[in-house]
Amino acid sequence: MSAGASPIWLVAGEPSGDAHAGRLLAALKGREPGLRAAGVGGGALRGAGCEILHGIESLSVVGFGGVPRLIPRLRRLRRDLMDRARRERPRAVILVDYPGFNVNLARALRRLPERPRLIYFIPPQVWAWWSGRARTIARTFDLVLTIYPFEPAYFRREGGEAEFVGNPVAHALQEAPGREAARRALGIAPAARVVALLPGSRLKEVDRHLAPMTGAARLLRGKWPDAVFLVSEADALRPGEVSERVRDGGVSLRVVRGRMAEVVRAADAAVVASGTASLETGLLGTPMAVVYASDPLTYVLSKYFLIRVDYLSLVNLLAGREVAPELYQRRVRPGPIAKALARIMEEPGAGERQREALEAIRRSLEGPDPYGRAAERILGLLEGGR
């Protein structure tokens, strides 16, 4: 596509999607240097050369309780994008994650007289939520690019075009340091007993998970007086937001910012907030317990009305069984967390069995650069291929 061709749009509604969209755009431009891009995103997309039509700063929400306040802004954003699409006629629109907004936008774009090609990169987990969403996506998008190998079948059954392009998390962690190197980098003795605490990448997650995690560390200090407890502070948080909330209470809690892979690889066991971090921990091969405490409305809606799977953590979903113990809502307390970690580290064979299951998950997600594969597939579609 030449520099004078119609631009492509990329639409990401939150920081993680912006990061994926930025890497995808970089891969596209690496193959088509003259490609022009515009869309909705943040610093990652802007850094990759995208003209930002709307920023994502005001679009983030955690839990269903925050959705009503966001709806009017999303409606105004969609109206503006539709007006621009009629005037500017983008050749393609690549929508990244953020399904509540992106699926509705795509359906509206599809109704335009001269509509763009519609590509979904990292679609919602239709296997976990409403089964009817797979049909909607299959009939709306020209191409769905997935990051789990079992996902394309859900869209193909509904007549859609879908392809597994690889898993970005698995690809990024291929260069992660080994256990010994991670411990050297963090200044931890090779024989030390190490526990990692990962409370989440959003402030609300930290507020719900950090105190129970550090409480569990205090309980475990009585069993393991020389243990090292590492608390991971995600890059997405403001510097100090985790360390300011840590109350040591006689436990040597060391907060480490932005070095999640080293923290996890250095640990003998971890307690992790449910989400991408649990998958990252699994791919790094560290046995874990998974926790999640949400606002009551989100939990009730998810458990009894929305979620259609037996597990909420990605490692257990990918394994099809409970590889890592899951603790939710009222069980996210110091006692149950400490008990789960002690079982992993002390029960004969428990840690090794989990490591073997995690290694099988890692092998299933291995592959080449997913952004490069996605870029090639998208450019092939735009050139008229299949």
pLDDT of residue 67 exceeding 60 = no
pLDDT of residue 65: 46
277-296 pLDDT, tens digit per residue, is 999 999 999 999 999 887 65
- Output the 3-class SS for 327-368: EEHHHCCHHHHHHHHHHHHHCCCHHHHHHHHHHHHHHHHCCC
Domain 176-365 classification at class level = alpha beta
The pLDDT value recorded for residue 47 is 97
**Sign of the C-alpha dihedral, residues 212, 218, 224, 230?**
positive
What are the extents of the domains in the chain? 8-166+368-382, 176-365
Q: What is the pLDDT of residue 366?
A: 83
pLDDT in tens, 225-281: 999 999 999 998 999 999 888 865 556 799 999 999 999 999 999 999 998 899 999
Summary mean pLDDT of the chain: 89
pLDDT of residue 63: 45
Helix or strand (DSSP H, E) at 162: strand 162-164
The reported pLDDT for the residue numbered 368 is 83
* Residue 61, pLDDT score: 54
What is d(CA 237, CA 16) in angstroms, rounded to the nearest whole number? Answer: 13
166-184 pLDDT tens trace: 999 999 999 999 999 999 9
Pairing status of strand 143-146 against strand 117-121 = parallel
Give the predicted TM-score (pTM) of the model: 0.82
What are phi and psi for residue 146, nearest 5 degrees? Answer: -105, 165
Asked if the model's pLDDT at residue 301 lies above 70, the reply is no
Packing angle of the helix pair 132-140, 99-110 (nearest 10 deg) = 40
Fold annotation for 8-166+368-382? Rossmann fold (3.40.50)
pLDDT in tens, 187-230: 999 999 999 999 998 899 999 999 999 999 999 999 999 999 99
Q: Which of 23-27, 101-105, 251-255, 369-373 has the lowest mean pLDDT?
A: 251-255
Q: Which of 28-37, 61-70, 148-157 has the lowest mean pLDDT?
A: 61-70
Say whether 176-365 and 8-166+368-382 share the same fold. yes
Looking at residue 314, what is its pLDDT? 87
10 Å CB burial of residue 325 (0-12, 13-18, 19+) is buried
Q: How far apart are CA 198 and CA 281, in angstroms?
A: 10
Which residue did the predictor score with more confidence, 64 or 9?
9
